[in-house]
């Protein structure tokens, strides 16, 4: 196999989704920390590898991919011994893809990023309540998606779980998950926390993300 390098930082949810995948596949890789606050993602070397300047960035020998969903799918397709994490069955794969598009467009972009960027990068100290309400809508959707099965796409752990857990464990800093109201999400989170690599790949970084946001002392206003 090629030499895999993952560029990112633990606080980044998409980076953590890729770390979960790498750990699940038990793949050797180099982890390269990228300090976004020092604009290391705009360095000449990084820009050549990823002109979008985002993390995570994965390099497999000389080939570079920089979207977490594409990275996870690529890793499973190329290196997994089975297709459990990203099924080859067209319907099952479509369900996983559907959930990852939901994570990308709804959870990450419309909820997490919309709230995080003003606080972290532009010094905003207040957030409008109507934007924070998007977080509750996310919880409502995810609770419904889980239905009567153990994982997001059914009864088998997939990369959709890795993608969504990385953001679900981050958006709670804006609106804490009500465990009584969302018992299926609560049980799903506990299930994922039992994975032997979960804490290292996601738990630690999610805590860093929450601590970082809380240090900005933002408030939610109506």
- Output the CA–CA distances (angstroms, integers) from residue 147 to 70, 100, 106, in the order listed: 26, 17, 19
What is the residue-averaged pLDDT of the chain? Answer: 97
Other Cβ atoms less than 10 A from the Cβ of 220: the count is 14
Q: Cα–Cα distance between 217 and 198 in angstroms, integer?
A: 28
> 122-141: per-residue pLDDT in tens?
999 999 999 999 999 999 99
Q: How confident is the model at residue 132, as a pLDDT?
A: 95
Tell me: pLDDT of 22 over 80: yes
Which pLDDT score is estimated for 185?
Answer: 98
Q: Is residue 67 predicted with pLDDT exceeding 90?
A: yes
- Compute CA distances 55 → 39, 47, 93, 155, whole Å: 12, 11, 25, 30
Average pLDDT over residues 110-122: 94
Whether residue 1 has pLDDT greater than 80: no
Residue 66 has pLDDT above 80, yes or no: yes
Non-local CB neighbours of 49 within 8 Å, separated by 6+ positions: 7, 57, 59, 64, 66
The Cα-based distances of 59 to 71, 104, 222 in angstroms read 10, 21, 44
Percent of the chain with pLDDT over 70: 100
Q: Name the 3-class secondary structure at 102.
A: helix
What is the average per-residue pLDDT within 20-37? 97
What domains can be seen in the chain, in order of their start residue? Answer: 4-79 (3.40.30.10), 90-220 (1.20.1050.10)
| Closest of 107, 181, 178, 189 to residue 152, by C-alpha | 189
In this prediction, residue 83 carries a pLDDT of 97
**DSSP state letters, 135-171:** HHHHHHHHHHHHTTSSBTTBSS--HHHHHHHHHHHHH
Q: How confident is the model at residue 70 (pLDDT cuts 50, 70, 90)?
A: very high
pTM, 2 dp: 0.97
């Amino acid at each position: 196999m090629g030499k895999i390098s993952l560029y990112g930082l633990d606080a980044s949810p998409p980076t953590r989704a890729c770390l979960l995948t790498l750990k699940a596949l038990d793949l050797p890789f180099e982890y390269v920390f990228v300090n976004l606050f020092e604009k290391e993602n705009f360095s000449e070397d990084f820009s050549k590898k990823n002109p979008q300047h985002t993390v995570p960035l994965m390099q497999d020998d000389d080939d570079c991919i920089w979207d977490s969903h594409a990275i996870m799918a690529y890793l499973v397709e190329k290196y997994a011994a089975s297709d459990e994490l990203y099924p080859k069955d067209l319907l099952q794969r479509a369900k996983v893809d559907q959930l990852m598009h939901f994570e990308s467009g709804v959870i990450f972009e419309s909820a997490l990023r919309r709230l995080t960027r003003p606080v972290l990068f532009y010094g905003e100290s207040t957030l409008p309540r109507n934007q924070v309400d998007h977080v509750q809508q996310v919880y409502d959707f995810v609770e419904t998606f889980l239905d009567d099965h153990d994982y997001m796409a059914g009864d088998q752990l997939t990369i959709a779980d890795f993608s969504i857990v990385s953001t679900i464990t981050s958006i709670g800093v804006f609106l804490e998950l009500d465990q009584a109201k969302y018992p299926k999400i609560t049980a799903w989170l506990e299930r994922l926390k039992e994975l032997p690599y979960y804490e290292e790949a996601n738990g630690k970084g999610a805590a860093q993300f929450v601590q970082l946001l809380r240090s900005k002392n933002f408030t939610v206003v109506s």
